[in-house]
Amino acid sequence: MTHTSSGPLSDIRVIEAGTLIAGPFCGQLLADFGAEVIKVEDPGVGDPMREWGQQKHEGRSLAWPVIARNKKSVTANLRAEEGQRILRELVATADVLVENFRPGTLERWGLGYEQLQEINPGLVLVRVTGYGQDGPYASRAGFGAIGEAMGGIRHVTGEPDRPPSRVGVSLGDSLAATFSALGAVMALHARQRTGRGQVVDTAIYEAVLAFMESLLPEWEFAGYRRERTGSVLPRIAPSNAYPTADGAEIIIGANRDTVFARLCEVMGEPELSSGEHYGTHDARGENQEELDERIATWTRKFDADDVLGRLHEAGVPAGRVYTAEDMMADPHYAARQAIVRLMHPQLGEFPMQNVVPRLSETPGEVHSVGPELGQHNEEIYGEVFGADAEQLRRWREQQVI
């Protein structure tokens, strides 16, 4: 079977049996860096992400080509005995299996890790769930939104006088998937020494919790409970969104003493940086609201481009709040090729975010949009099973693939 890549994971085969985002984004990250990712989907319907997404174009999901990029698609009914046999045969050839079923599902199918290790002792099994593989909540259904709530980020997101908000993407799922990809690579590295695979157990709520900075010791030692604070962090000033004369909003981050001094120079009020009211980090924190209004009074005098030009020249971190339209028009995005365009067989030229991070010697790449359902059945099953057209036809008739 042909798999050509210069990426650092080009010698790794991944079987992805997950759906939606928490498992598949892990697969996407591994595929971005050269792993051969074979996505196993239900016959006939496939991953729900083929239909999901906030927008469609010509009846097609605009999310699927991104999260399934660089992958190969095969179909197998894992609830049927023959479909389970297919997965076992695939696992025998693989380095990593990624799944995000509810705990116990693989075990019910006779595909628990003990059974899989008998087939392939070096297998790394990546398991992404809401609550992890054990503990009193393990059997609960878990979506990313619930993990965000339990992990703490929902409580601190939004305006203080409104219910908890969410960010506009599936943050919990994506964080869990990112940690899972890191776990997979670490487990593969350990395998070089031990020759053995292992289980990577990622709970969505724990992935969110890992991002919560000093939230826990703040409560334990100071009795301080973080709350929703809108666009600011308490006592970190100035760092906020400020209005401009042309109706835009810009972000300015000048809470460090030296940077704040540069901001005061640009504003024509250099004395503010050494005065009692704003001269120290603590003083600016105490007078945060008043300081923000003072800066907003200044930014309202200028159009966004004008004020940003002044700030950039002075070395003050500042920028627009970007939309997709801004990203596609931005020269820095273009210079660093942060957006890559591929040909979609039905939709034509298709833009998406490029690979992160950049590696100087073995970079990742995006070489294909998400595949059609079962597009690689003949290629993969021909190699693994020696299956010919007649075998594939029988499996289809039996609804195995």
Number of C-beta neighbours around residue 193 at 10 A: 7
Phi and psi dihedrals of 188, rounded to 5? Answer: -65, -35
CA 140-144-146 angle, to 5 degrees, is 55
- Residues taking part in catalysis: 173
Amino acid letter, residue 312: H
What is the number of other CB atoms lying within 10 angstroms of the CB of residue 87? 23
Q: How far is CA 37 from CA 42, 88, 98, 355, 371, in A?
A: 16, 16, 10, 16, 11
End-to-end CA gap in the chain:
20
Rounded Cα distance between 101 and 133, Å, is: 10
Give the whole-angstrom CA distance, residue 214 versus residue 383.
Answer: 51
Beta bridge mates, 127: 99, 201
